[in-house]
Structure 1
Amino acid sequence: MDDKMPARRRTSDLTSGPIPRTLLLFALPVLGSNVLQSLNGSINAVWVGRFLGEAALTATSNANLVLFLILGVGIGMAATILVAQSVGARDLPEARRIVGTSATFFFLVSVVFAVCGWIWVDTILNALGTPADALPLARSYLRIIFLAVPMMNLLSFVMTVLRGAGDSRTPFLFMALAVVLDVILNPLLILGIGPFPELGIAGSATSTLIGQTVSVLAILIVLYARKHPLRLAGANLALLRPDPALLRIVVFKGVPMGLQMIVVSSAALTVMGMVNAYGSQVAAAYGIAAQLWTYIQMPALAIGAAVSSMAAQNVGAGRWDRIGRIAASGVGFNLVLTGVLVALLFVFDRAVLSLFLSSDSAAIDIATHINKVASWSFILFGITIVLFATVRATGAVMPPLIILVISVLLVRTSFAYFFRSAIGEEALWWSFPAGSITSLVLATAYYRFGRWRSVHMIESRPAAGEPPDTGLGVPRQRAHLSPETPTG
């Protein structure tokens, strides 16, 4: 049977049907995965904060920022766009080539990160200005987390590729498995309950390692048992050897997307370094506030991921008539969902914060103030995320990176640094609205007036004399890719 013809039946089609309903149904499992991930981090923070104290909580906050930086590698995101465009064009052999090349390279990069992180863990934590009382705890925690990085990245890669193929339900189920294992094992390994050893803060990291490893092995077993069309088996295992030409395309587009995450992470690390200068109490308050912000941002991130996959499939299918409506639906959902969460946080923030810290801790007052100053700005940043997801679906990746460099790395960190002399630590909290307003203005201007619509896409039928396009702006002949299947 021809690989291209049954693509609609064997992968989920995002190129037809009512856009708001299709987008929402696709986004809900992504949102569920994000909820589980954030809930996992928050519950682990409760265990650490309650059992081991504020210094240990500060240690995990610093370590988790480093982890977010490492997980920001963009190869997976670039592969997802290419896979989605290939699925939209009904070209499954091309999608498998992308999966094979990307998976091998992505895993090897993860191993390099893990090894380098293990070796230079003290240098990393010192560069953050981690408080002295939290440094030994952060070191113990982060070293085990580095061991988990390859499996965490592999699980993330498999889930994003499945979403590119239109399946958001399977990633949700296996994220749930990883979270359940992590949450259950966390207190057992921290306190040494029953047959488990007492590992302290290292137990929290070990539970993460176990949960991620079991989940990624389980999802691979299930995909092969179901004979998923994007699995690599038999002769297709040769596709795990990276194709240099295809790898150049993936890296060329993936690096700017990865740098976008690194820019956000770097800004967060810079602000954390400034926060640490005010001591463990303020650092703990900021760390907990940041935990709550992950929940606020979840709808926008989920909608952005759904918009990216849906728009990319429509780009591959040549359905440009749907792209603008996909973006508009994403912005609308973000305004409603993120706005509701911000309102709830304004009302119930003190009650939620008391879960992490004792009720008489001064850090609760600090964290409450931080939320009131900064949390509303994530509504604006959510719109930016949706607009970025739309333009990235065509392969336009440099303008979003430049916008983030300006708004997040320059405006936010500069505001926090230079205004400290005038308004003290308030500058740290107000830097978030300053960055979000800047990014929204610039992103809206690029979406409205930029040339992202002219970036090459997978065309269902190339014009006479024009080579089929790879989906990210490099014609197949010029990229020296195998002409194994046409894209029409």
Structure 2
Amino acid sequence: MHIMRWSAKSGYRESLVIGLPLVVSMMSSTVMTFTDRIFLGHYSLDALAASLPANVAAFLFLSFFLGVAEYTGVFVSQYTGATRHERVGAAVWQGVWFSLPAGLILASLWFLAEPLFGLAGHPQAVLDQEILYFRILTLGGGLFLIGASLSCFFSGRGLTKPVMLVHVAATTLNIPLDYCMINGYGPFPEMGIAGAGIATVIGYGVPAVAFACLVFTRKNEARFKVLSGWRFDPDLFNRFMRFGLPGGVQFFIDMFAITFFVFMVGRIGAVELAATNVAISVDTLSFMPMIGMHIAVSIMVGQAMGAGRPDQAAYATVSVLHIAVGYMTLMAAMFLLFPEWLMNLFRTRDDAGDFGAVAEMGVVLLRYVAAFTVMDAVAIIYMGGLKGAGDTRFIMLTMGSASLGCMVIPLSIMSWQGTASIHGPWICLLAYVAVLASVFTIRFHRGPWRSLRMIADES
């Protein structure tokens, strides 16, 4: 059966052809963030401790707009499956029109940085760097959204290699730039965490410019109307909002739960915060590639649903799931077998013994990461399948309920009671992933998504 699934339509081979370039794209983003934190860890422990809350908080606000903008890809995939190629350009432009004001809103968060991070109660040395890093990242958020919207022109049609190449190029530029701007090398002054933020924003800008050059060509105009389809289309934009907004809310809720988790851990102590920072950074090695496969399955399901073939959509989802679970199992084994080596990647250059406590606690936290990685794969892939079919309202409601029930309420109670143990918050995170995996599995197999139509009743 598995041999037949390799060569079948929507089988393993097609899943890998579409998914692997997206995995590489996500890994390039992961490598960018991972090396960023390694460089900051070598720079100072305070910079390392500040990088995760600020990065997570910035991405929390970005996540809502990104969840909506990325839904451009589902519309492109459904138009592709329905062989309505002349509508692809208009779909991409609706994502761009959404991203422009969204970028202005993100930039305005500059004024919320101080009161926001003041609520966290982190040490002043960490707090100052959190505010600075957050402000720089949110200023560049609009560039990230525009690049994401334009990339959907390729990813939504299943052409994921251009997406991979652009993101790899951005990472290749970002890593040395990051090192130089943090530490002061070559023509750059030593800027510490500010240098890390500026280098990241430059990394956001490269894909936006590159995709604009690749998308808006005469050849693409002839088939996909990428130039003549620039006008704001109220009907299409309303559809985009109808299905995309729940996706944005879902992404925001998920990131809010993680952000809340990080901030509550920060209240326990600096060692707990730094150890959690490193453990989550290591977890991105497994999580971010799964986001690539999540996008891949939403593309494959979207194309199948656009063509009116829900059985093919289900087959594609199971194919991607098998690949994802296999990968996550290997990653879980690595987290269990080599935790000390992974932790020591973040050892600071001015370590005066403090990092020993961080590394010791981080080894324990990586056991939690290993425990939920496979469940994470199940949740992410089934959610991608539901998203590709347009079942975004259910995803939003599930994420909201799980984040409140498993994360926000219990973590608030723990904080109120003055819990000093790191295990309580991490058990909540484990329960959160388990609930999502279970609910999305049941929803997908019950199949109400099969009757959803995103573009069928278009005039």
In the TM superposition, residue 334 of structure 1 has moved relative to its aligned partner by: 1.4
Give the match for residue 4 of structure 2: none
2:316 to 326, 351, 366: 326
2:383 to 367, 372, 388: 388
- Whether contact under 8 Å (2:215, 2:226) holds in the other structure is no
- Distance in structure 1 (CA, Å) of the matches to 2:413 and 2:447: 32
1:218 to 210, 214, 222: 210
Question: C-alpha deviations, 1:69-101, integer Å up to 9, x for none?
Answer: 133122223221111000111112222211122
Call closer, same or farther: CA 1:284–1:386 in 2, change over 3 Å: same
Deviates more, 1:331-340 or 1:421-430: 421-430
TM-score w.r.t. the length of structure 1 is: 0.86
Call closer, same or farther: CA 1:322–1:259 in 2, change over 3 Å: same
Question: C-alpha deviations, 1:265-287, integer Å up to 9, x for none?
Answer: 11111111211112222111101
2:237 to 241, 247, 250: 247
Call closer, same or farther: CA 1:161–1:66 in 2, change over 3 Å: farther
Equivalent runs, 1:209-358 vs 2, <5 Å: 209-225=201-217, 227-228=219-220, 236=228, 239-358=229-348
- Distance in structure 2 (CA, Å) of the matches to 1:241 and 1:343: 51
1:434 to 426, 431, 436: 431
The amino acid across from 2:190 in the alignment is E
1:120 paired with 2:112, answer yes
- Whether contact under 8 Å (2:38, 2:346) holds in the other structure is yes
Matched residue SS, 2:140: helix
Matched residue SS, 2:219: coil
- Whether contact under 8 Å (2:406, 2:429) holds in the other structure is no
1:453 paired with 2:450, answer yes
1:104 paired with 2:97, answer yes
Deviates more, 1:337-346 or 1:447-456: 447-456
- Distance in structure 1 (CA, Å) of the matches to 2:425 and 2:328: 22
Deviates more, 1:291-300 or 1:221-230: 221-230
Give the match for residue 401 of structure 1: 396
- Distance in structure 1 (CA, Å) of the matches to 2:78 and 2:435: 31
Matched residue SS, 1:375: helix
In the TM superposition, residue 419 of structure 1 has moved relative to its aligned partner by: 5.5
The amino acid across from 1:449 in the alignment is R
Give the match for residue 48 of structure 2: 57
Call closer, same or farther: CA 1:129–1:268 in 2, change over 3 Å: farther
Give the match for residue 464 of structure 1: none
Deviates more, 1:239-248 or 1:223-232: 223-232
Give the match for residue 131 of structure 1: 123
Give the match for residue 173 of structure 1: 165
Aligned residue pairs: how many? 443
Deviates more, 1:330-339 or 1:70-79: 70-79
Give the match for residue 69 of structure 1: 60
- Distance in structure 1 (CA, Å) of the matches to 2:226 and 2:402: 45
- Distance in structure 1 (CA, Å) of the matches to 2:251 and 2:274: 23
Percent sequence identity over aligned pairs: 23
From the two aligned structures, give the one with the greater helix fraction: 2
- Structure 1, gaps ≥5 residues long: 1-14, 459-468, 470-474, 477-482, 484-488
Task: Please give the root-mean-square deviation of Cα atoms over the aligned residues, in Å.
Answer: 2.2
Call closer, same or farther: CA 1:425–1:84 in 2, change over 3 Å: same
Call closer, same or farther: CA 1:231–1:217 in 2, change over 3 Å: farther
